[in-house]
Chains A and B, each alone.
Chain A
Amino acid sequence: MTGERTLTRNFHRPDAHTLAAYRGTGGYTAWEKAQTMEPAAITEEVKKSNLRGLGGAGFPTGMKWSFIPKNHTGPVYLVINADEGEPGTFKDRYLLERDPHALIEGMLIAARAIRSAVGFVYIRGEYVEPWRRFSAAAREATDAGYLGRGFDVVVHRGAGAYICGEETGLISSLEGRKGWPKLKPPFPAIKGAFGAPTIVNNVETICHLPHIINRGAGWFASLGTKTQGGTRMYSVSGRVKRPGVYEASVAITLRQVIYDLAEGVTGNGRLKAVVPGGSSAAILRADEIDVTMDVDGLKNAGTMAGSAGVIVMDETVSIPEALMVVARFYAHESCGQCTPCRESTGWIYKITERIVEGRGRKEDLDTVLDVARRGAGTTICAFYDGAVGPYISYIEKFRDEFEALIPK
């Protein structure tokens, strides 16, 4: 059912992170092939593969690359977003720890396509072991001559801030400032890190590239749906029998993720709700899980594929309490730059907290919905829109549960 595995094929090997193991399983052969290809041909192949960004936004990767100005002569930067922080997501941690050379080989291919001589890998500060593993792999790759001959990699540690996973916030942070997102346009492909054209790609997105180059865009596209190719890594957690990271086609259904990959629901065994794409994705009820996990499938279901962090809740879970926990996260992580986000996230957390504590007021639910709707789309970055997804969906889909907690 789950089909082919490429990204995770070596995860079972204790030495998977080493250059020897990577080369022994076909590693760096795609880079050899890519060196015989024109940069534009690499971009074209990635476009045809229907690879879409797997960090959250789902933007077509090849199209993103094609936004780099054609006649640009100065430096171009490749930045890898390894600032994994979306609640319920843990796939990039596995890739950094267990297959760091796949990321390096993918970076070499991407850098050739966009004509970049330097790549920055921005790893969240808390990921100390992944940072060590990746740094060691980068040293191995330098000693073996893959890096340092036209393309260098700088490994950069963050210091604890979810907003740095937003690509322009990440660029601000990389430049040595607080991680405030920047107004777009200009988009990073035009004016990004250090004022130069910059492509920011997620770890998992880049790790697909060696396979696309080796086996072709047609093969990759055929693994998915009409509008999104390939497999992706599902991070499954919450009330399931086998939480973990699973690689499968983007075309499988949420039901298959929960019942086949993670082997079903724990708690009382009956599904109540599930978050399909990290905490910023709108929640789905138990009767809404027959949807495909691709970007467009989940968008049509009123939610989003996001980072494919699947958080499962059985019938014993309190949805108001879950929303309070999620609201606390957005209140804490709002960077404070835009008023609607800074103020709303704080107040909505306070409201959800008093509802859970039995001190809710009868107008509270409509206040939250109103504040959420008014602020959506008014801020510099997508962070607040990501908070609005859970605010509205948890309340609209489980309103009775909230009302039961509010004193009459």
Chain B
Amino acid sequence: MSLTAPLAFPPEQLAEVHRLQALYPDRRAALLPVLHMAQDAFGYISLEVEEYVAGLFDMTPAHVHEVVTFYTMFFQRPKGRHVVAICHNLSCHLAGAPRILTHLKERLGVEVGETTDDGRVTLLSVECLCACEHAPMMQVDDRYEFDLTPARVDRILEGLR
């Protein structure tokens, strides 16, 4: 979405916002689900998105900002078309996650937290994703990728366009 486009959900998504708000005894409880929707729709949660979402809930933008900055899954800056998040907690560490992370950095030419120049991939290193039986593992967008080796990582990266 370009920066000049009006920042608002289309009608059907607005209806979804209202449906979500009605599910809870207090409509403000729908904030996290609506922020997930906003990130999907607008790419990331900018200050402008925070203000827009705050308006949907009659909240202050400061409250929304406090929530957005608390959780790891909300991006406050543009991210790549794909997010690759390797787990660096204990079981993955024991299974060689540091070696896989080094491989990812080399292949992508970025450090942790950075996005490739072509906007294809943002690389993250994250805490336990709770799939330790398949360590080392990582999350690629919505999917978990298991039992990583450098060769397997290469095949996965190859599939990201």
Query: What is the interface of chain A, defined by CB distance below 8 A to chain B?
Result: 75, 84-90, 92-93, 118, 124-129, 154, 156-162, 173-179, 194, 196, 235-239, 243-245, 275, 279, 309, 311, 313, 317, 321-322, 325-326, 328-329, 332-333, 335
B138 to chain A, nearest CB (A): 11
| Bound CA span A71–B134, Å | 49
The answer to whether B101 has its CB under 8 Å from any CB of chain A is: no
| Residue from the list B24, B25, B63, B89 in contact with A329, Cβ < 8 A | B89
| Residue from the list A154, A176, A178, A238 in contact with B91, Cβ < 8 A | A238
> Is A194 within 8 A of B131, CB to CB?
no
Nearest-neighbor residue (CB-CB) of A93 within chain B: B130
> Is B127 within 8 A of A243, CB to CB?
no
| Residue from the list A124, A126, A244, A328 in contact with B133, Cβ < 8 A | A244
| Residue from the list B23, B32, B70, B131 in contact with A90, Cβ < 8 A | B131
> Is A159 within 8 A of B25, CB to CB?
no
| Bound CA span A322–B127, Å | 14
**A161 — which chain B residues lie within 8 A by C-beta?**
70-72
130-161 of chain B: CB within 8 A of chain A:
130-135, 139, 142-144
The answer to whether B7 has its CB under 8 Å from any CB of chain A is: no
**B67 — which chain A residues lie within 8 A by C-beta?**
176-178
| Residue from the list B71, B128, B143, B144 in contact with A88, Cβ < 8 A | B128
| Bound CA span A309–B130, Å | 10
**B89 — which chain A residues lie within 8 A by C-beta?**
87, 279, 325, 329
> Is A326 within 8 A of B130, CB to CB?
no
> Is B127 within 8 A of A238, CB to CB?
no
A-B contacts besides A156-B33, A161-B70, A177-B67, 17 pairs, CB < 8 Å:
A93-B130, A125-B32, A125-B71, A126-B73, A126-B139, A157-B32, A162-B128, A173-B32, A176-B28, A178-B71, A237-B132, A237-B133, A243-B133, A243-B134, A322-B90, A329-B90, A332-B127
**A157 — which chain B residues lie within 8 A by C-beta?**
32-33, 36
**A175 — which chain B residues lie within 8 A by C-beta?**
26, 28-29
The answer to whether B47 has its CB under 8 Å from any CB of chain A is: no
The answer to whether B110 has its CB under 8 Å from any CB of chain A is: no
The answer to whether B99 has its CB under 8 Å from any CB of chain A is: no
> Is A159 within 8 A of B32, CB to CB?
yes
The answer to whether B112 has its CB under 8 Å from any CB of chain A is: no
Query: What is the interface of chain B, defined by CB distance below 8 A to chain A?
Result: 23-26, 28-33, 35-36, 57, 63, 66-67, 70-74, 88-91, 93-95, 127-135, 139, 142-144
**Sample (23) of A-B pairs whose CB atoms are under 8 Å apart:** A84-B130, A88-B90, A89-B130, A125-B32, A127-B130, A128-B142, A129-B143, A156-B29, A161-B72, A162-B127, A173-B32, A175-B28, A178-B71, A194-B29, A237-B133, A238-B94, A243-B91, A243-B134, A311-B91, A313-B94, A322-B93, A322-B94, A325-B89
Contact A159 B133, CB 8 Å, known A175-B28, A176-B28, A325-B88: no
> Is A194 within 8 A of B24, CB to CB?
yes
| Residue from the list B24, B36, B74, B134 in contact with A154, Cβ < 8 A | B24
| Bound CA span A9–B143, Å | 26
> Is B28 within 8 A of A159, CB to CB?
no
B64 to chain A, nearest CB (A): 10
| Residue from the list B26, B94, B130, B143 in contact with A239, Cβ < 8 A | B94
**B144 — which chain A residues lie within 8 A by C-beta?**
129
> Is B90 within 8 A of A311, CB to CB?
yes
Nearest-neighbor residue (CB-CB) of A309 within chain B: B132
**A244 — which chain B residues lie within 8 A by C-beta?**
133
4 pairs of A and B residues whose beta carbons are closest in the complex: A160-B72, A237-B132, A176-B31, A159-B71
> Is A85 within 8 A of B128, CB to CB?
yes
> Is A86 within 8 A of B36, CB to CB?
no
| Bound CA span A90–B35, Å | 26
A407 to chain B, nearest CB (A): 24
